[in-house]
């Protein structure tokens, strides 16, 4: 570890202490962050600072008691925060993730089990149609039903120019973010009944794309169109479809190829809050959209971007 890294770590620690009483930062770390990079898909345990998924803070109130939820990308980031929140609201939870993320997934499993609900872990690559179908069937079988589907898993790899964006990378992004959502949702309709819901994770990139995230931004715009159109299709069946559009959130997606190092160091600085969001800060949106309180809410896009107001 070089002197600059040691100094930045010390400054970050001091900064975290200094913002405890700052209502804008709400005790969460703000940039500059330590220069860090992981191989995709990235792990929570390797991030500095470690993201807050509500492990210690989220308190449930039985809003999803008895529900059965499947969450893709549930091992880390926003998906992990949603899995914890759903379990503490009384739901049984199945999470999907890549095999390389097993250590993160086991942490989530223990947190879910601690709430007394079922914790189903199903590793696998959702760029495969056959796996997506088996994922849904497996989750529904083990939980004896399915009430909530959260299409959250995503692939994000920055590319500085269109000339550098390869067909392989473009295809991987669309297969993970769009095709998988289509395959999983189509299969889930075999189990979802009246009162069930689908929640998709879009992004502010859908409405305000970054120059280095052309393919990712396209997929997030496609998710919004899919959400709004499907909500109209399923209204007669009383199945609600909504999406959440996060702004900059501190997750492994960013430190494992989602952002170049120079942008990761100042990640979230452009928001009015001057920092990225923590996964714990968005989980309640997914809870509300899955709860009976949102029974008249469908085809909506709920933004959470630290005050930029893009949605």
- pLDDT, one tens digit per residue, over 80-113 is 999 999 999 999 999 999 999 999 999 999 999 9
Beta bridge partners of 277: 249
User: What are the backbone dihedrals phi and psi of residue 27, each rounded to the nearest 5 degrees, phi first?
Assistant: 75, 0
Angle between helices 102-113 and 77-88 (to 10 degrees): 20
Q: Is the pLDDT of residue 7 over 60?
A: no
CATH number at residue 177: 3.40.50.720
The answer as to whether 216 is a domain residue is yes
Task: Look up 97 and say whether it is catalytic.
Answer: no
The answer as to whether 54 is a domain residue is no
Beta bridge partners of 303: 245
Catalytic entry in 28, 58, 158, 216? 216
Our CA angle for 183, 166, 155, nearest 5°, is 40
Prediction pTM value: 0.91
Six token digits for residue 150:
């959260």
Pick from 57, 38, 14, 172: nearest CA to 101: 38
Q: Is the pLDDT of residue 2 over 80?
A: no
Q: Is 260 helix (H, G, I), strand (E, B) or coil?
A: coil
pLDDT by residue (tens digit) across 188-245?
A: 999 999 999 999 999 999 999 999 999 999 999 999 999 999 999 999 999 999 999 9
The answer as to whether 2 is a domain residue is no
Q: Is 120 helix (H, G, I), strand (E, B) or coil?
A: strand
The answer as to whether 290 is a domain residue is yes
My answer on whether omega of the bond before 124 falls inside 30° of 0, hence cis, is: no
Helix, strand, coil share of the chain (percent; to 5): 45, 10, 45
The answer as to whether 26 is a domain residue is no
The answer as to whether 300 is a domain residue is yes
* Residue in this structure with the two tokens 């223990």, named with its chain if needed: 110
pLDDT at 76: 96
Distance, in Å, from the CA atom of 197 to the CA atom of 184, rounded to the nearest integer, reads: 13
Distance, in Å, from the CA atom of 293 to the CA atom of 179, rounded to the nearest integer, reads: 30
Whether 151 contacts 184, CB under 8 Å:
yes
Cβ atoms < 10 Å from Cβ of 216 = 27
Of the CA atoms within 13 Å of residue 201, those in its CB half-sphere come to: 27
Q: Considering its fold, how many domains does the chain have in total? A: 1
My answer on whether omega of the bond before 49 falls inside 30° of 0, hence cis, is: yes
Q: Is the pLDDT of residue 19 over 60?
A: no
Mean pLDDT of the chain: 92
User: What are the backbone dihedrals phi and psi of residue 43, each rounded to the nearest 5 degrees, phi first?
Assistant: -125, 145
The answer as to whether 49 is a domain residue is no
Domain containing 149 equals 62-304
What percent of the chain has a predicted confidence (pLDDT) above 90?
84
User: For residue 258, what pLDDT band results from cuts at 50, 70 and 90?
Assistant: confident
Q: Is the pLDDT of residue 128 over 90?
A: yes
Q: Is the pLDDT of residue 14 over 60?
A: no
Question: Whats the size of the chain, residue-wise?
Answer: 311
Pick from 36, 41, 47: nearest CA to 172: 41
Q: Is the pLDDT of residue 10 over 90?
A: no
What sign has the CA pseudo-torsion 241, 279, 208, 70? negative
The answer as to whether 133 is a domain residue is yes
């Amino acid at each position: 570890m070089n002197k600059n890294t040691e100094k930045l770590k010390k400054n970050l620690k001091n900064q975290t202490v200094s913002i405890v009483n700052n209502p804008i930062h709400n005790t969460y770390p703000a940039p500059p962050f330590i220069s860090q990079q992981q191989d995709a898909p990235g792990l929570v345990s390797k991030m500095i600072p470690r993201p807050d998924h509500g492990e210690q803070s989220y308190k449930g109130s039985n809003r999803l008691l008895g529900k059965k939820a499947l969450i893709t990308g549930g091992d880390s980031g926003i998906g992990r925060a949603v899995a914890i929140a759903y379990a503490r609201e009384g739901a049984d939870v199945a999470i999907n993730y890549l095999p390389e993320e097993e250590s993160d997934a086991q942490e989530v499993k223990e947190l879910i089990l601690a709430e007394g609900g079922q914790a189903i872990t199903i590793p696998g690559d959702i760029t495969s149609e056959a796996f997506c179908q088996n994922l849904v069937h497996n989750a529904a079988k083990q939980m004896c039903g399915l009430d909530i589907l959260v299409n959250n898993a995503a692939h994000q790899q920055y590319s500085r120019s269109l000339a550098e964006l390869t067909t392989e990378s473009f295809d991987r992004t669309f297969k993970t973010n769009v095709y998988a959502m289509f395959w999983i949702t189509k299969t889930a309709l075999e189990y979802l009944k009246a009162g069930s819901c689908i929640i998709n994770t879009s992004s502010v990139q859908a409405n305000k794309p970054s120059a280095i995230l052309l393919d990712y931004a396209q997929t997030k715009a496609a998710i919004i169109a899919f959400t709004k159109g499907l909500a109209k299709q399923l209204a007669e069946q009383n199945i609600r479809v909504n999406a959440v559009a996060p702004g900059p959130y501190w997750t492994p997606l960013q430190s494992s190829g989602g952002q170049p190092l120079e942008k990761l160091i100042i990640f979230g600085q452009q928001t009015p809050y001057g920092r990225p969001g923590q996964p714990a800060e968005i989980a309640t949106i997914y809870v509300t959209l899955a709860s009976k309180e949102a029974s008249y809410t469908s085809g909506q896009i709920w933004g959470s971007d630290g005050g930029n107001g893009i949605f």
